[in-house]
Each structure stands twice: as structure tokens, then as C-alpha cells.
Structure 1
Amino acid sequence: MNRLNRSDQESLPISQEGENAQDHDLEHQKHTHHQGKSAHPHVHSQESLRKIVNRLSRIEGHVRGIKTMVQQNSPCPDVLLQIAAVRGALDKVARIILDEHLTQCIARAAEEGNIEIELEQLKAALDRFLP
């Protein structure tokens, strides 16, 4: 299976110089949870975002490769093997996101005193995520 070329991967914006660049970067790194009773900002480092986006870009390329295999009538066991590889890669991305959520977002919610709401939202997400 061919790997996705770097040129095919999504490019991330390069940080601007100066004081406003930090504010600009933080604004692009925040997202909020709109489910449940409260919303809170999530701030992720540029390095973390880059790693996650790069992994997802490789997965996206891998899925396109599987589509090509199907269109070219590749043997079913080969296609299934590649699908298993994509599942494993997606699981790894999910673990990275969950780890960051636990170490940053849940910890922050505990400090702010709204841990119950955050745990309720996490449990609801895990119920949908896990089989």
C-alpha cells in the first residue's frame, strides 16, 4: 500500500511573528463542547494539532488507497488487511485525543469545580465511540 506523500497532506498555517501571533494561534486552537450544561474552551498546542492532523491525513490517503484496491478488484483478504490497518490507525488517533482530554480538559474541569458535567459528557461520548 502506498503511503500518502507529504505534498498530499494538509498544510497547516505558519505562525505569524509578533505578539498578535500568539493570540491568533490560541484562537485557532480553541474549540468548545456545546453538549450538556456548560461549554468550556479547549486549548491544544500547535505541535499536538499538527501530529493529529498529519495522522488523519495519512489515514485519509490510506482510505483512498483501499478505494483504489476495490476499484481494481484486488483480492478481498488484501482489502480487509488494509481496512484493519485503517481501523488501528483511527484507534490510535482516538487514544491520543482521549489522553489529551483526560490530562488537560478533565484536569481543568476538576480545578474549576465542574468535573461532574465534564465526566457526564465524556461518558456520553464514550458510549457512542465504544462498541
Structure 2
Amino acid sequence: MSHLPEHQVDNLVTRINRIEGQVGGIKKMIIAEKPYNEVLIQLNSARSAIQGISKILLEARADHSLMNVSDGASLDDELKQLREVIKQYNKMN
């Protein structure tokens, strides 16, 4: 991972824990037969949180690639790996 604070494992795990809480809340809302619009609002919130983590991971991979190239790694190899991450990121959007 990158050296930026938002890219650190602890930060990402905290975000995942929040999302787990959101999903648990959504499950309870469905069981309680809450109005659909309220459930959809929470689903959109969880989706947005997941997309936020995806963005952080994409940024971290880009940072990692740049650091590797500056340390002598193959530019072609790093670009190939970065393209694969971008491809996966784009599937989410």
C-alpha cells in the first residue's frame, strides 16, 4: 500500500467495518419492512462507501506503481498492473 494515511490498512478496515454496519442496518430495515425509499437511501449510502474504498485502492495502486518505477521496476510491468486495476475499478462504475 501507499504511504498516505488514507491508503493504510487500518483506515481501510475501519471503512469496511462501517460498511458492514450499514449492511446490517439495511438487513434490519428490510426485516422490519421499512419503506422502500428509506432502504434505497441506505443502499445508496453503502454503495457510495464501497466506491470510496475502490477509489482509495486505485490511488494506492497508482502511487505504488510510481514508487516502484522510481526504484527501478519495469515501467511496462507496472503499467500492465495499473491498467488491470483501472479495468476492475471501471467495472464498478
Tell me the number of residue pairs that the alignment of Structure 1 and Structure 2 aligns. Answer: 89
More strand by share: 1
Which gives a bigger RCO, structure 1 or 2 (Cα 8 Å, sep 6+)? 2
Deviation, structure 1 residue 124: 1.8
Aligned to 2:49: 89
Larger displacement relative to structure 2 (50-59 or 121-130): 121-130
In the TM superposition, 1:65-84 aligns within 5 A as 65-84=25-44
Q: Percent identity?
A: 28
Determine if contact 2:19/2:50 at 8 Å carries over to the other structure. Answer: yes
TM-score under structure 2 length normalisation? 0.79
Which residue, out of 80, 98, 102, partners 2:62? 102
More helix by share: 2
Spell out structure 1 runs of 4+ moving beyond 4 A: 42-47
TM-score under structure 1 length normalisation? 0.59
Aligned partner of 1:123: which letter?
R
Determine if the alignment matches structure 1 residue 119 to structure 2 residue 82: no
Aligned partner of 1:59: which letter?
I
Distance 2:79 2:12 in 1: 23
Structure 1: gaps of 5 or more residues: 1-41
